[in-house]
Structure 1
Amino acid sequence: MPAESKTHTEIPAPSVGRVLGATRVLKAYLALTKPRIIELLLITTLPTMVLAAGGWPSLWHMAATLIGGTLSAGSANTFNSYLDRDIDAVMKRTQGRPLVTGAVKPRAAFIFAWVLALASTAWFYWIVDSPLATVLSIIAILLYAVGYTMLLKRRTSQNIVWGGAAGCMPVLIGWAAVTQSLSWTPVVLFLIIFFWTPPHYWPLALKFRNDYAHAEVPMLPVVATPVKVAKEMILYAIAMVVVSLILVPLAGMTWIYAVLALGFGVWFIGGCYALYRRTMDGSKLHSMRLFRDSILYLSVVFGAILADPFWPDTLTVWQR
């Protein structure tokens, strides 16, 4: 009796093991780059490019800039993972990271960070064809890896304030990639994110302040009372909203942007004030709610910036 013909090809068990092993390694290296942070950075880059171009830049130019930004941010985040591996090992929130679990060796992570840095630099210079964006990308990596991680994070409670400047750089990079120059408009976009960063990050630090204290990282919620932290968050949020409205006359934004920026800005300030009231009452803080709200605020404001060049000029508050 003839043997039954096979209808599919079976993969030998050792090959399956190799595939699974390679997948785990790739996931570990991807985790070093902190993809969620990169996603947040790209949310600000694309609207900036559209505003700079007054419409859609070429699809290739947009894609090339976003790829370069991903490589640059991935490098900065990998350097951060390498330099902070001792802190990550003692914080419960970060004990599953690849350099703590041993999924990636420190030397390999260090090399990977440099490969991404060199790749992003070459990409911006030759593919995006923007020397200014190239320089700004290098500065962004240095600000995060050296300025924040090496110099500020372990030494000052204002670490996230000044170190957060690295997270503001994508708007300058995106603008430079389109215009090959800088102006006051991208500076204002930079400041929106700069003032947004403390009330975005401090709710997370409030949630995990015991972790940071155990790791001896002087985040403001570790060295100051929750009341003081909440007060400063309100001040930064107010400054953020004021700066976002400066964009209206400066860039000739429409009423739609102005209403969204003001409305969601007031809503976010209200969230900061509600947190302050809870710190005064001694109630449970629920700070992660404000952390998530901060991401929604930034997404709405930059979504409005993305859409603004496409609204009729009759809706413009000041002439562009």
Structure 2
Amino acid sequence: MSLVERHETLSQSSAVWDGGMGSVSDYVALLKPRVMSLVIFTAFVGLMLAPGKVHPVLAAVAILCIAIGAGASGALNMWYDADIDEIMTRTRKRPIPAGKITPNEALAFGITLAIGSVVTLGLLVNWFAGAFLAFTIFFYVIVYTMWLKRSTPQNIVIGGAAGAFPPMVGWASVTGSVSLESFVLFLIIFMWTPPHFWALALFKCGDYRAAGIPMLPVVAGETNTRHHILIYALLLAPIGVAPFLLGFASSVYGAAATGLGLVFVALAADLWRKREGEAARQASMRLFKFSIFYLFLLFALLLAESLVLGA
């Protein structure tokens, strides 16, 4: 059975199911809370680094709207990907394939949150930020989920832009515009995304192959994927230092970013050397876990400096 047929079968089965059995926790799961937490954090950093002042209540509204917009994207992603989520071990316990929420319920939930977050951000904060949030949701749901994810091994490269937009939306919530500084924050996440997800894809390659998702390890092979990871790590390391080089972060940040970048490259090189077996799987998971720490610490340092300098 093809993926399209699976999707149609799942949708048809939901049509005869009354639904309404999902708990609050099931709807929270639809929001992809782990992804949402990263979105909230990076958007908050963008908001705090932006020049100018914004009322604390409006700042809280902006972050809440960005979070809800991210949750809407997650719900719509789970609605569309319910067929492949049912196949992959990593995702088969999600609310829709687990039979706790119907696809139609997830679709209505996602659309409601998406419209509500965009309109609220536009009305209460500014319409540039609202439009940017709408574009971010569109990019993740339409461009990445519906188009790129199932059609090209470059899905995570281009589609990763959606996850990199939040700090720019946070920045726009304060200034009503974007700038070079906000673009640098975007670029750090954009360049971080491919090696982060490819490391996981190496570990979960069988899942992606079974679901028919053309992730790079499935299409180009694991060796080629390791080459790409190392190249992106080498490109990411100097970009991570860019806030210091451009003068909107201190030498403390610059030193920390340099050290973290070197560790990232070292782990990518270790993965590049270990081509097969359990050692290769462990190397991919080490890089995946460190990549989360890397991004968190870079943005945490930027946030700490903005709080100290702004005090």
Same fold (TM over 0.5): yes
1-structure distance, mates of 2:305, 2:116: 33
2-structure distance, mates of 1:312, 1:90: 49
1-structure distance, mates of 2:25, 2:63: 21
Q: Choose the corresponding residue for 2:71, options 67, 70, 74.
A: 74
1:155-234 equivalent positions in 2, closer than 5 A? 155-234=151-230
Q: In the alignment, does 2:105 pair up with 1:108?
A: yes
Q: In the alignment, does 2:248 pair up with 1:259?
A: no
Residue 121 of structure 2 contacts residue 127 of structure 2 at CA under 8 Å; is this kept in 1? yes
1:238 aligns with 234
2:272 aligns with 276
1:253-296 alpha-carbon deviations (Å, 9 max, x no partner) = 21011111111111111111111111278834212221111110
1:70-106 alpha-carbon deviations (Å, 9 max, x no partner) = 1100111111000000111111221111111110011
Amino acid at match of 1:277: R
Residue 124 of structure 1 contacts residue 130 of structure 1 at CA under 8 Å; is this kept in 2? yes
Amino acid at match of 2:35: I
- TM, length-normalised to structure 1: 0.86
Q: In the alignment, does 2:119 pair up with 1:122?
A: yes
2-structure distance, mates of 1:261, 1:41: 20
1:97 aligns with 94
- TM, length-normalised to structure 2: 0.88
1:7 aligns with none
1:293-308 equivalent positions in 2, closer than 5 A? 293-308=290-305
Q: 1:282 to 1:101 in 2, by over 3 A?
A: closer
2-structure distance, mates of 1:107, 1:310: 43
Q: Choose the corresponding residue for 2:82, options 59, 80, 85.
A: 85
Amino acid at match of 2:248: G
Structure 1, unaligned stretches of length 5 or more? Answer: 1-21, 314-320
2:43 aligns with 45
Q: CA shift at 1:245, angstroms?
A: 2.2
1:211-241 alpha-carbon deviations (Å, 9 max, x no partner) = 1101110000111232221121111122222
Residue 254 of structure 1 contacts residue 311 of structure 1 at CA under 8 Å; is this kept in 2? no
Q: 1:241 to 1:61 in 2, by over 3 A?
A: farther
Q: Residue 281 of structure 2 aligns to a residue in which SS?
A: coil
Q: CA shift at 1:310, angstroms?
A: 4.7
Name which of structure 1's ranges 108-117 and 234-243 shifts more when overlaid on structure 2: 234-243
1-structure distance, mates of 2:39, 2:307: 23
1-structure distance, mates of 2:117, 2:90: 29
Q: CA shift at 1:26, angstroms?
A: 1.0
Number of aligned residue pairs:
291
Amino acid at match of 2:119: A
2-structure distance, mates of 1:282, 1:253: 40
2-structure distance, mates of 1:170, 1:292: 22
Q: 1:259 to 1:98 in 2, by over 3 A?
A: same
Q: CA shift at 1:176, angstroms?
A: 0.2
2-structure distance, mates of 1:302, 1:29: 29
Q: CA shift at 1:24, angstroms?
A: 5.3
Q: In the alignment, does 2:285 pair up with 1:291?
A: no
Residue 21 of structure 2 contacts residue 100 of structure 2 at CA under 8 Å; is this kept in 1? no
Residue 192 of structure 1 contacts residue 241 of structure 1 at CA under 8 Å; is this kept in 2? no
Q: 1:283 to 1:183 in 2, by over 3 A?
A: same
Q: Residue 92 of structure 1 aligns to a residue in which SS?
A: coil
1-structure distance, mates of 2:219, 2:140: 22
2-structure distance, mates of 1:51, 1:218: 37
What CA RMSD, in Å, does the superposition of the two structures yield over aligned residues?
Answer: 2.1
Q: CA shift at 1:58, angstroms?
A: 4.1
Q: CA shift at 1:312, angstroms?
A: 6.4
Residue 50 of structure 1 contacts residue 57 of structure 1 at CA under 8 Å; is this kept in 2? no
What percent of counterpart residues are identical? Answer: 37
